Amino acid sequence: MNTNLATALTAPLKLAMLTLMTVVMLQAPAQAQDAPLKRGDVETIVREYILENPDIIREAFEELERREVAAANEARAQAVSTVSDVLFNSTRQVELGNPDGDVTLVEFFDYNCGYCKRAMIDMMRLLEEDDKLRIVLKEFPVLGEGSVEAARVAVAVNAVAPEKYLEFHRELMSARGQANRASAIEAAKNTGLEIEALDAAMNDPEVNATIEEVYTLARRLGLNGTPAYVIGDEVMMGAVGYDRLKQGIEATRNCGEAAC
């Protein structure tokens, strides 16, 4: 067994062993009070039980994973409350849909993320179907320098012509090949934006500040990939799909407040 696997096994095996040892001790015959079981005897019984019931190892793994996921979700929910103002109401973010919507969906994305490209269909569907939904987009370039370059152009687009951002966003997300400065500029041209004004906006310190703000948010929320979503106090990792996003929106809406 390699070292990494042995390390991974340690926690669930200990959980299983300790549980079984406790059961053995509690169920020991009354006469064992005069002659208590030795540790070696208990370990032998436990070992034999595990060999006869190997499924207990899988169950221990599943329980450990469940606890870890629950703990991570709870930590992220608490983190959302500490960064809620910047997360939902930053002056640097992109806002789509109803600005006075009763629910806000926040998406962290990267223009080189294939899952984000496919997930855009879910976002557009939600945007078209739900006139009470507010969507916030966070540029989170994590897939290399090309992603950073594309994000810088996108931030400048939002500064120069926010009304054109969604059209630009769809254009760049739909483009083939790697997203970078060149492809982002091409998408901006196709959207009808003035490139000179865009170049000037890209030199504004606010561009870097916007991206750094998102990196900071991502660290606080424990995000390490894209896409990632926040609805209410729930953080969703990965391309969870339309149905799951819709479920989160409705659950938050039923709370009676935009961030529940």
Q: For the residues of 162-225, what is the DSSP string, one character each?
A: GGGHHHHHHHHHH--S--SHHHHHHHHHHTT--HHHHHHHHTSHHHHHHHHHHHHHHHHHT--S
Given a cut of 80, is residue 172 above it in pLDDT?
yes
pLDDT in the model for residue 15: 56
pLDDT in the model for residue 64: 72
Cross-strand partners of 131:
none
| Arithmetic mean of pLDDT over the chain | 84
Indicate the domain borders of the chain.
Answer: 3-81, 82-255
Please tell me which residue, 19 or 241, carries the higher pLDDT value.
241
DSSP 124-143: HHHHHH-TTEEEEEEE---S
Task: State the DSSP code for 99.
Answer: T
Q: List the CATH code of the domain at 82-255.
A: 3.40.30.10
Given a cut of 60, is residue 256 above it in pLDDT?
no
pLDDT in the model for residue 57: 73
pLDDT in the model for residue 242: 97
- Tell me the mean pLDDT in the region 135-159: 97
pLDDT in the model for residue 43: 74
**Token pair in block for residue 200:** 């000037």
In which band, very low, low, confident or very high, does the pLDDT at 81 lie, cut at 50, 70 and 90?
confident
